[in-house]
Amino acid sequence: MTGAPPLGTGVLAAMYGAVRAMQLYPAENEVVKRSLREVGEQAERILEHEGGLSVWVAGNYMFVNDLQVRLDLHDYAALAAFREVFRGHGVGRMEADPKTGSEDWHAFLSAIATDPAPGQPPLEALQADLASRGVTHISVGPPSPMFQGSEGEQSLDAARRTYARSVKVARDMMEGLVLGKAIGARRAERAVLAVVDQVLQDPATMLGMLTLRDFDDHSYVHSVNVAILSVALGDYLGFNREQLFELGFAALFHDIGKVLIPQAVLNKMGWLNDEEWRLVSQHPDFGLLMLFNVEGFEDLPYRAMLAVYEHHMKPDLSGYPRVIRRRRQGLFARIIALTEAYDAAISNYSKQFLPCSPDEAIRQLREAESGAYDKVLIRAFVNMMGIFPVATLVILDTGEMGVVVAPNPNPKALNRPLVRIIASPDGERVGEGPIRDLTERDPETGGYRRSIARSTDPGRYGINVADHVA
| Distance separating alpha carbons of residues 385 and 414, to the nearest angstrom | 9
Of 255, 310, 374, 400, which one interacts with Fe ion (CB under 5 A)? 255
Pick 340 or 437: Cβ nearer Fe ion? 340
Query: Could you say whether residue 343 binds Fe ion (CB under 5 A)?
Result: no
Size of the site for Fe ion (CB under 5 A): 2
Please, what's the largest Cα pairwise distance for the chain? 81
Q: What H or E segment, with its residue span, contains residue 85?
A: helix 73-88
Shortest reach from residue 111's CB to Fe ion, in Å: 52
| Distance separating alpha carbons of residues 386 and 244, to the nearest angstrom | 21
- Selected range binding Fe ion among 150-158, 233-241, 251-259, 362-370, rule: CB under 5 A: 251-259
**Amino acid identity for residue 237 in this structure:** L
Q: Are strands 393-396 and 61-64 parallel, antiparallel or unpaired?
A: unpaired
Query: In terms of Cα–Cα distance, which of 10, 17, 44 is closest to 32?
Result: 17
Query: For the packed helices 331-346 and 241-252, what is the interaxial angle rounded to 10 degrees?
Result: 50
- Selected range binding Fe ion among 114-122, 135-143, 250-258, 272-280, rule: CB under 5 A: 250-258
Pick 148 or 263: Cβ nearer Fe ion? 263
Shortest reach from residue 80's CB to Fe ion, in Å: 31
Instruction: Give the torsion sign (CA, 460, 461, 467, 470).
Output: negative
- Selected range binding Fe ion among 247-255, 292-300, 313-321, 378-386, rule: CB under 5 A: 247-255
Count CB atoms within 10 A of the CB of residue 302.
Answer: 9
Query: In terms of Cα–Cα distance, which of 380, 405, 426 is closest to 204?
Result: 405
- Selected range binding Fe ion among 161-169, 184-192, 340-348, 363-371, rule: CB under 5 A: 340-348
Pick 96 or 337: Cβ nearer Fe ion? 337
- Selected range binding Fe ion among 107-115, 262-270, 334-342, 416-424, rule: CB under 5 A: 334-342
Query: Could you say whether residue 202 binds Fe ion (CB under 5 A)?
Result: no
* SS3 per residue for 358-384: HHHHHHHHHCCCCCCCCHHHHHHHHHH
Pick 72 or 340: Cβ nearer Fe ion? 340
Q: Is the preceding peptide bond at 321 cis, omega within 30 degrees of 0?
A: yes
Shortest reach from residue 312's CB to Fe ion, in Å: 6
Pick 123 or 261: Cβ nearer Fe ion? 261
Pick 147 or 349: Cβ nearer Fe ion? 349
| Distance separating alpha carbons of residues 416 and 406, to the nearest angstrom | 10
Query: Could you say whether residue 340 binds Fe ion (CB under 5 A)?
Result: yes
Shortest reach from residue 258's CB to Fe ion, in Å: 7
The contact set with Fe ion (CB under 5 A) reads 255, 340
